[in-house]
């Protein structure tokens, strides 16, 4: 029995059936486990990429016909997942080193999470925020007790959480300075990413994200990430309502702040009356080996935004705030129809149960450090590898060439990885439950696929 058949024996759903297609016996895809056997050789010059089946091609063609073209998708159609493995419509198995962009902290189809979601779906899914629900209050209490915060506001995504933090900062400053001289501007940093809605987009440094939609929200200054003196000058201008910063930048290329930088921002904000907001949408909730990434630095914000992994794959966003900030927010100042619904909050409670188990975070830290050492030993001799960096299980491989060909070669070899930075960083953010053996497999496949970089530059 091969790996996908083993999976289907537990969760019986055929890839073709998941797409609403029944294939004749002669056309059903051959099942192979990419990582149970040596990976195929990297794509070479002039070699054809693996062919998609008719089932997969039909999905790709319908996507191009019916969905707005905002995504440059990889050539794969996923239909199932379990643990750290994904399965495509053609019966192939993949090791997931992306976790849905750092979302699936517990991997795919975690039994306890699935049971929680099924039970809650059969009990109560949605009521809106006009009434109270038990899971929302329980999750807020849990997050407050596990953090610096006094209160929580629930949204649906990371960008919504940052939009709420923008509004809260403006309202806080207006209440704190009723004379009408309240600061309204914001500061963020180079290589940052805070979202794609108009407020959070204005805080995002990548010009290619902002320019097509200009003018975005005015009044945002970008300082160099890590340059405390430059940041202090902006904060001391007295115009800044809040400073948004990621303790570890994910989309920007896996850059970690220093304690001196974050502490300096904290001090400068306190002196100027500005708020300090930590965006931990990608780096928070165990990803770094700490529950919250900022815990490694001993610096506390006024607000923290969360999203990606919190509900184990269901959409959620949260702003955690101190009482100082919360006291400025009144009924009707902000709201959401779906934010904090019973289904996602109950899923988040189960996710937290797992991540907060004794020893879980220590294992994440250990696996991350071992993985970086393993990558260093396997990749150190390659001329294109400039640096391997990160903390916990958020790791980046910086290259001197675009990472796309390596990402494609890894996909063909059965490992899912992402890009980051200026397209020259391989981003590795696997499920936090990943095993040491799976990390070794990933490192070996990446090493075997490195020649794809030479082909792309020849």
pLDDT in tens, the chain (458 residues): 444 555 544 444 444 454 554 333 333 333 333 333 333 333 333 334 678 999 999 999 999 999 999 999 999 999 999 999 999 999 999 999 999 999 999 999 999 999 999 999 999 999 999 999 999 999 999 999 999 999 999 999 999 999 999 999 999 999 999 988 999 999 999 999 999 999 999 999 999 999 999 999 999 999 999 999 999 999 999 999 999 999 999 999 999 999 999 999 999 999 999 999 999 999 999 999 999 999 999 999 999 999 999 999 999 999 999 999 999 999 999 999 999 999 999 999 999 999 999 999 999 999 999 999 999 999 988 999 999 999 999 999 999 999 999 999 999 999 999 999 999 999 999 999 999 999 999 999 999 999 999 986 65
Residue 218 and residue 221: Cα distance in Å, rounded?
Answer: 9
Tokens of 198: 């108009």
Q: Any idea how long the chain is?
A: 458
**Is the Cα torsion angle 136, 141, 146, 147 positive or negative in sign?**
positive
Cα separation of 74 and 408, whole Å? 8
Q: Do 276 and 251 meet the contact criterion of CB atoms below 8 Å apart?
A: no
Q: How many CA atoms lie less than 13 Å away from 41 in the CB half-sphere?
A: 7
Q: What is the DSSP code (8-state) at residue 387?
A: E
Q: For residue 180, what pLDDT is reported?
A: 84
**How far is CA 76 from each of CA 19, 51, 79, 141, 168, rounded to the nearest angstrom?**
13, 10, 10, 40, 41
* Phi-psi category of residue 312: left, alpha or beta, with phi > 0 → left and psi -120 to 50 → alpha: left
Tokens of 191: 């290589």
CA atoms within 13 A on the CB side of 199: 17
Tokens of 425: 């960083």
> What pLDDT does 456 receive?
61
Q: What is the enclosing helix (H) or strand (E) of 96?
A: strand 93-96
Asked if 89 contacts 29 with a C-beta cutoff of 8 angstroms, the reply is yes
**Distance (Å, whole) CA 19 – CA 15:** 7
Strands 394-399 and 415-416: what pairing? unpaired
3-state secondary structure of 53: coil
pLDDT reported for residue 105: 98
Among the listed residues 449, 413, 427, the one whose alpha carbon sits nearest the alpha carbon of residue 93: 413
Question: Which residues fall within 8 angstroms of residue 275, CB to CB, at 6 or more apart?
Answer: 169, 172, 173, 241, 242, 243, 269, 302, 303, 325
Return d(Cα 301, Cα 148) in angstroms, integer.
8
Q: How far apart are alpha carbons 107 and 97 in whole angstroms?
A: 10
């Amino acid at each position: 029995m091969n790996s996908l058949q083993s999976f289907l024996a537990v969760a019986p759903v055929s890839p073709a059936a998941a797409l609403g297609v029944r294939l004749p016996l002669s056309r059903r895809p051959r099942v192979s486990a990419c990582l149970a056997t040596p990976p195929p050789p990297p794509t070479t010059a002039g070699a054809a990429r693996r062919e998609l089946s008719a089932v997969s091609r039909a999905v790709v063609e319908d996507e191009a016909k019916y969905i707005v073209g905002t995504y440059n998708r990889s050539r794969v159609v996923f239909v199932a997942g379990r643990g750290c493995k994904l399965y495509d419509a053609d019966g192939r198995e993949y090791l997931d080193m992306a976790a849905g962009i750092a979302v699936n902290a517990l991997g795919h189809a975690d039994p306890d999470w699935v049971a929680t979601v099924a039970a809650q779906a059969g009990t109560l899914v949605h009521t809106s925020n006009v009434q109270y629900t038990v899971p929302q209050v329980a999750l807020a209490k849990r997050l407050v007790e596990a953090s610096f915060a006094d209160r929580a506001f629930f949204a649906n995504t990371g960008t919504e959480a940052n939009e709420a933090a923008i509004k809260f900062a403006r309202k806080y400053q207006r209440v704190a300075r009723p004379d009408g001289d309240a600061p309204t501007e914001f500061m963020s940093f180079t290589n940052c990413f805070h979202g794609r809605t108009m407020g959070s987009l204005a805080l995002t440094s990548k010009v290619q994200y902002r320019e097509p939609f200009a003018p975005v929200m005015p009044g945002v200054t970008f300082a160099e990430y890590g340059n405390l003196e430059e940041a202090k000058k902006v904060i001391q201008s007295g115009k800044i309502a809040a400073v948004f910063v990621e303790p570890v930048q994910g989309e920007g290329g896996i850059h970690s702040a220093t304690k001196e930088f974050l502490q300096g921002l904290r001090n400068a904000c306190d002196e100027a009356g500005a708020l300090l907001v930590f965006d931990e949408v990608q780096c928070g909730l165990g990803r770094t080996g700490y529950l919250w990434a900022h815990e490694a630095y001993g610096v506390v914000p006024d607000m923290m935004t969360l999203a990606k992994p919190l509900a184990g794959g269901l959409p959620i966003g949260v702003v955690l705030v101190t009482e100082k900030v919360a006291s400025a927010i009144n009924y009707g100042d902000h709201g959401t129809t779906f934010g904090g619904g019973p289904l996602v909050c109950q899923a988040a409670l189960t996710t937290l149960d797992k991540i907060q188990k004794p020893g879980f975070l220590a294992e994440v830290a250990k696996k991350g450090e071992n993985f970086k050492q393993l990558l260093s030993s396997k990749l150190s001799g390659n001329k294109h590898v400039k640096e391997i960096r990160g903390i916990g299980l958020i790791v980046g491989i910086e290259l001197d060439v675009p990472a796309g060909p390596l990402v494609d070669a890894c996909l063909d070899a059965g490992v899912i990885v992402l890009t980051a930075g200026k397209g020259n960083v391989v981003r590795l953010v696997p499920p936090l439950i990943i095993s040491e053996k799976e990390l070794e497999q990933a490192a070996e496949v990446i090493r075997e696929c490195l020649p794809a970089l030479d082909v792309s530059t020849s």
